Amino acid sequence: MANQRQIHIKLEENLHTKLRKTSKDKGITMQEFVTKALNNELYYQSELNLDTHSFTFIDLFAGIGGMRIAFEAAGGRCVFTSEIDKFCKKTYFGNFGEVPEGDIAKVKESDIPDHDILVAGFPCQPFSIAGVSKKRSLGKEDGFLDKTQGTLFFDIARIIKEKKPKAFLLENVKNLRSHDKGKTFQIICKTLEELGYKVNSRILDGHHFVPQHRERIFIVGILEDIQAEDPLESLPLPEPNHKVRDILEKEVDDKYTLSDKLWDYLQSYAKKHREKGNGFGFGKVNLDGITRTLSARYYKDGSEILIPQKGKNPRRLTPKECARLQGFPETFEIPVSDTQAYKQFGNSVTVPLVTAIAEQLVNNLHFNKEKVKS
């Protein structure tokens, strides 16, 4: 065991209680928790030079931190983060040394630090469109508060209204644009415009950066009084030239190979739907091509992305390969079960795509011209 030195620190009682509870929930000692947090902080201070950064940002509905990696790479410092899923929080802590705040609905907007950019990969919930006249007759508030109350987007809107960041980047599934015949998306954009922002959106495919077909909608807003080119319109996209074989591990445990029972089921299921004229079925990958979209249900049977193997049944991707497929760095830790890892990477963003958007947004806002001290 390496030589160890002791330090003695005093903590406020509420912080000590929180530290003890969090350590217990994670199944580690308080010393292990603090050591991990210090190591991560020192790493980021040295690697990213956070003493001077171009801008600050907050990371809402953070998942496992894909958006954070992207915006830190663009020169930002994260000053607040929230995520409700306990397994995502474990992965987040393992990589950033921080435990995100929990339910954002329970966090007062006034308690969130000031920031330059808000980023959020928020879940899509149905929006209730009530008649404004009826609300007014009942003495209730209309406008953005009325239209988005009760949805997770409301929490983004109330924080933007309070903090007025210079810009924001929101990410969601492609179908958000057509949800409820386009009404949901219309409300989102109108809400953000009412808050004083120039809003634009664009559906982008991750296959420009990784060997995966993954279309997502990105929404950017910039304060109306800021003169800046829209980053989605000016975003340079490289020609897709990635291959699945480039992200595969050299040695893979046999546990990822499909059982005969599961493989027979997937083949018969696909055959049945082909006979009906449907396109449902498994996705056996061309190793020199790209994959289908990795989804959060991948843990169930891996059917949408199956890797062919010589002389035996195809296999699932490993969690490490899922991380690579989403463009996470090689050093990214996966401290959870395979099932949770599949869910997490299936719900995550394609990191290099978001990094490209973040860099374009930062360049257009000229943050790089005015360094900010921590």
Provide the pLDDT for residue 274: 75
The token pair that represents 169 in the structure block? 């980047």
Under DSSP, the state recorded for 127 is P
- Comparing 5 with 167, which gets the higher pLDDT? 167
- For 211-273, give the DSSP string: SB--EEEEEEEEETTS----TTTS---PPP---GGGG--SS--GGGBPPHHHHHHHHHHHHHH
Q: Does 260 have pLDDT greater than 70?
A: yes
Residue whose tokens read 């921080």 = 98
Provide the pLDDT for residue 14: 74
Q: Does 47 have pLDDT greater than 80?
A: no
**Computed over its alpha carbons, how large is the radius of gyration of the chain?**
23
Among 101-105, 201-205, 259-263, 351-355, the range scoring the smallest mean pLDDT is 101-105
Q: Which residues are catalytic?
A: 124
Q: What pLDDT band is residue 252 in, cutting at 50, 70 and 90?
A: very high
Q: What pLDDT band is residue 8 in, cutting at 50, 70 and 90?
A: confident
Q: What pLDDT band is residue 136 in, cutting at 50, 70 and 90?
A: very low
Provide the pLDDT for residue 143: 44
- Enumerate domains of the chain plus CATH numbers: 13-238+349-373 (3.40.50.150), 244-331+341-345 (3.90.120.10)
Helix (H, G, I), strand (E, B) or coil at 259: coil
Q: Does 374 have pLDDT greater than 50?
A: no
Per-residue model confidence as pLDDT tens digits over 202-234: 999 999 999 999 999 999 999 999 999 999 998
Among 116-125, 131-140, 300-309, the range scoring the smallest mean pLDDT is 131-140
Q: What pLDDT band is residue 1 in, cutting at 50, 70 and 90?
A: very low
- Comparing 10 with 65, which gets the higher pLDDT? 65
Q: Mean of the pLDDT values across residues 147-160? A: 80
- Comparing 76 with 53, which gets the higher pLDDT? 76
Per-residue model confidence as pLDDT tens digits over 88-132: 999 999 999 999 998 898 999 999 999 999 999 987 655 444 333
Per-residue model confidence as pLDDT tens digits over 276-288: 767 667 889 999 9
Q: Does 139 have pLDDT greater than 70?
A: no
Q: Mean of the pLDDT values across residues 38-47? A: 57
Provide the pLDDT for residue 110: 93
The two beta strands, 372-373 and 52-53, are antiparallel
Among 13-17, 131-135, 254-258, 264-268, top mean pLDDT goes to 254-258
The token pair that represents 202 in the structure block? 């664009």
Helix (H, G, I), strand (E, B) or coil at 209: coil
Q: Does 141 have pLDDT greater than 70?
A: no
Of 282, 307, 300, nearest in space to 338 by CA: 300
Q: Mean of the pLDDT values across residues 324-330? A: 96
**Which segments of the chain does DSSP mark as H helices, in order?**
13-26, 30-48, 66-73, 86-96, 132-137, 144-148, 152-163, 183-194, 260-275, 298-301, 319-325, 338-347, 351-365
Sheet containing 117-120: give its strands across.
76-81, 55-60, 117-120, 167-173, 215-223, 197-205
Q: Does 373 have pLDDT greater than 60?
A: no
Mean pLDDT, the chain, rounded, equals 85
Residue whose tokens read 């920031």 = 115
